[in-house]
């Protein structure tokens, strides 16, 4: 099968930890041909199909170079066995436009994972609102006064922008309210930008857990991203330490409740973020942590993903 990965530039991959690389490696191991392109390489013209300038690549098994380009050609997306959308956040206007091109390719017969419409319908911060039974006290607002009221009620809070990633723009305000006004103004932009506010969860000290769900089924191990050096953020991009561990009962309960629902909507791969027993985010654009979980536990997450991808291609 010919597999196209829509991703960031290949030269930017850090293969010692990159999840897309592990997917490609497993696909090649099974005899699938691996292709790659970036979103800007996809286009459409009336009278034709959605096409892209793609690179057929071969993974070398070495660290540098880790891939070789066998050829570059323009191909119709519908001619691939499957397309795996792995462009990293942020979900900006160009990402949004890419999902529309991919959805047109679906209408022409392409098989895209995660489904473009599902990517648009599940913004990673706001998707949790559908599952209030699993989340802690949360406020989504543009009203600075509402933020003050939330702080007065919960005393210790986290504020974050809806378009942040990797822990970017996350602030903690404790009971003394120090800098609440300044932080609120910075994120809220005087009422022009929506902010998410959540009660601080002390369980973050044990890690912000990434629970992976593939084809509606939870990977049996999660990666607890533990804050370091006085940081409130556990994100690996913010210096958190990743420790793989078996799912807790709460992790499994959340994954078993959400997994089949999200899979039915075309989300083959989802990353649930859980602090303690509380769901905090639903990551759908480019969930990671395959490499860390596999390296620490021996459980082959990439093999589970390619198994699910092959099964979906067969039935779709």
What angle, 0 to 180 degrees and rounded to 10, lies between the N-to-C axes of helices 301-315 and 19-29?
A: 70
CA distance 248 to 100: 38
CA distance 274 to 281: 7
Query: What 3 state SS string does 224-291 have?
Result: EEECCCCCCCCCHHHCCEEEEEECCHHHHHHHHHHHHHHHHCCCCEEEEEEECCEEEEEECCCCCCHH
Pairing of strands 241-246, 42-43: unpaired
From the list 130, 104, 125, the residue with the least C-alpha distance to 115 is 104
**Cβ pair 114, 284 in contact under 8 A:** yes
CA distance 112 to 103: 8
Task: Using the Cα atoms of residue 300, residue 312, residue 222 and residue 281 in order, give the sign of their dihedral.
Answer: positive
CA distance 297 to 27: 21
| Residues recognised as catalytic | 125, 160, 210, 225, 233, 273, 281, 283
């Amino acid at each position: 099968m010919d597999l196209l990965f829509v991703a960031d530039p290949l030269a930017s991959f850090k293969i010692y930890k990159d999840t897309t690389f592990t997917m490609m490696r497993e696909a090649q191991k099974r005899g699938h041909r691996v292709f790659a392109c970036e979103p800007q390489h996809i286009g459409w013209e009336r009278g034709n199909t959605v096409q892209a300038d793609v690179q057929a690549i071969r993974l070398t098994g070495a660290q540098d170079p880790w891939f070789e380009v066998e050829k570059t050609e323009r191909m119709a997306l519908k001619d691939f066995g499957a397309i795996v959308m792995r462009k990293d956040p942020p979900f900006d206007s160009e990402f949004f436009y890419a999902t529309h091109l991919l959805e047109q390719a679906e209408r022409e017969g392409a098989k895209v994972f995660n489904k473009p419409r599902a990517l648009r319908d599940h913004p990673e911060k706001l998707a949790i609102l559908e599952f209030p039974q699993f989340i802690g006290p949360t406020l989504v607002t543009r009203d600075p006064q509402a933020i003050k009221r939330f702080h007065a009620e919960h005393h210790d809070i986290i504020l974050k922008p809806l378009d942040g990633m990797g822990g970017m723009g996350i602030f903690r305000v404790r009971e003394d309210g120090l800098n609440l006004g300044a932080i609120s103004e910075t994120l809220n932009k005087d009422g022009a930008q929506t902010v998410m506010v959540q009660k601080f969860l002390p369980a973050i000290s044990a890690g912000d857990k990434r629970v992976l769900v593939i084809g509606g089924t939870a990977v049996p191990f999660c990666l607890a991203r533990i804050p370091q050096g006085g940081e409130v953020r556990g994100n690996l991009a913010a210096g958190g330490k990743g420790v793989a561990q078996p799912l807790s009962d709460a992790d499994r309960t959340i994954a078993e409740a959400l997994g089949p629902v999200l899979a039915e909507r075309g989300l083959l791969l989802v990353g649930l973020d859980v602090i303690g027993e509380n769901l905090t985010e639903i990551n759908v654009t480019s969930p990671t942590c395959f490499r860390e979980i596999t390296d620490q536990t021996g459980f082959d997450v990439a093999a589970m993903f390619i198994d699910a991808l092959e099964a979906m291609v067969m039935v779709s």
